[in-house]
Amino acid sequence: MLPVLKFTPIFKSVLWGGTRIAEFKGIESQGDHVGESWELSPMPGHESEVADGPFKGKTLPEMLHEHGREIMGEKLYERYGDHFPLLIKFIDSTQDLSIQVHPDDELAAKRHNSLGKTEMWYSVLPTPTAYLYAGFNRGMTPETFRSMVADSTIVDALTKYYTKPGDVFFLPAGRVHAIGEGNFVLEIQEASDITYRIYDYNRRDAQGNLRQLHVDESVDAINYNDKTQEVKNVTAKPGEQALVEDCPYFTTTLVNVDGEFFLPLAKRQSFTLLIATKGSLVVVDSEGRETSLPQGQTLLVPATMPAVTLRGTGEVVTVYIK
C-alpha cells in the first residue's frame, strides 16, 4: 500500500508578499517577499516533488502516471485520469492584490483548453485590520462594469469584509474578488492558473509600467448577479470534525485534534489532503507508519488508505473530492 506522501513546497516571491509563510511553517526564511507557498501543485513548470521516502524527487504528475488509481481512487481516476485536479496554497498578503475574476470550466476549456477556477479561502492568521473583497454590493451590468473600471471606481462596487481567523470565503468561478493587505489564508482551488486581472489600483512597476489588465476577457466571465455573501466562520471543538465547504470540486473539513483522532477515509473513495493550520501532529496510517505533520505542512493520503489516526494537539483541514 502506498504510504502517506509529503511534498516540498514551492515558494513564490512577489512584490506584495512578506515573511509570515516561513515563520508559520517554522522554517528558515525564504526571503522578504514570499507571497505564496504552493503546497501541492500539478501545474506545468511548477510540479510538486515528493520530499522524502521511497519516492523522493518524483513529481506529482509522475506519481499519478505510475500510481494514479491508487492515489486518486477508481472513480476520480475515471474522471480526471493522470491530471491532479487541485492546487493548494498558503497566501501572505502585505499589500492589496489586484481585483480579478476566473472563468468557469466551460469558458476556460473554450479559451484555454484548461479547467476553470472555483476556489475557497480559509482565513488562518489575519492581522487586526485585514480585509478582502468578494462579490458585488449592487446591481451590475457589463456596461456599468466597464465604466467603473475605466474611471477607477470598481472597488466601490465590491463588498468589503474584515477577516477573522476561521472565516471561509467560497469563490465560484465568475465571482469578482481580491485579497486585501494583512491576510494569511489557505487557498484551495481547481488546478488552474487562469486569472483575468480587472484592476490594479493604477500601480506601476519599477520601470514605470502599468500591469497588464484583462478587462475584455473578464466581461464574459463575470456573474453579474453575484452579490454579497454571508461570511461563514468555522470552528471545531476538541475531538470533533466540522464541515468547512462542500462543492463539486472539493469538500473540506476542519479537525480539532486533542490527543488522538481516528479519521476513517474509505467511504470518501478519494485521495485526502491533510493540511496542518495549527499545532504539531503525527499521522499514523493503517499499516502503522508515522509521518510528521507540523503546522504549515500538507500531506497527501492515497485513496487506497482506509483510515489514518492523527496524534498530538492542533487543527487540520482535510480536502477530498466526492
CA angle 285/291/293 to nearest 5° reads 115
Q: Exposed e or buried b for every residue in 177-189, given b needs 16+ CB within 10 A?
A: bbbbbbbbbbbbb
At residue 104, the 3 state secondary structure works out as coil
Catalytic residue among 175, 197, 203, 311: 197
Closest CA to 126 of 97, 176, 160, 92: 92
On the CB side of 16, how many CA atoms lie within 13 Å of its CA? 19
Closest CA to 188 of 312, 84, 61, 45: 84
Taking the C-alpha atoms of residue 142 and residue 256, their distance in angstroms, rounded to an integer, is 44
Evaluate whether 180 touches 93 at the Cβ level (below 8 Å): yes
CA angle 11/14/16 to nearest 5° reads 120
Taking the C-alpha atoms of residue 172 and residue 175, their distance in angstroms, rounded to an integer, is 6
Annotated catalytic residue 211: no
Evaluate whether 309 touches 241 at the Cβ level (below 8 Å): no
**Grid coordinates given for 118:** 472555483
**Alpha-carbon separation of residue 5 from 48, 57, 310 (angstroms):** 11, 12, 15
Phi, psi (degrees; rounded to nearest 5) at 43: -70, 135
- The residues carrying an active-site annotation are 197
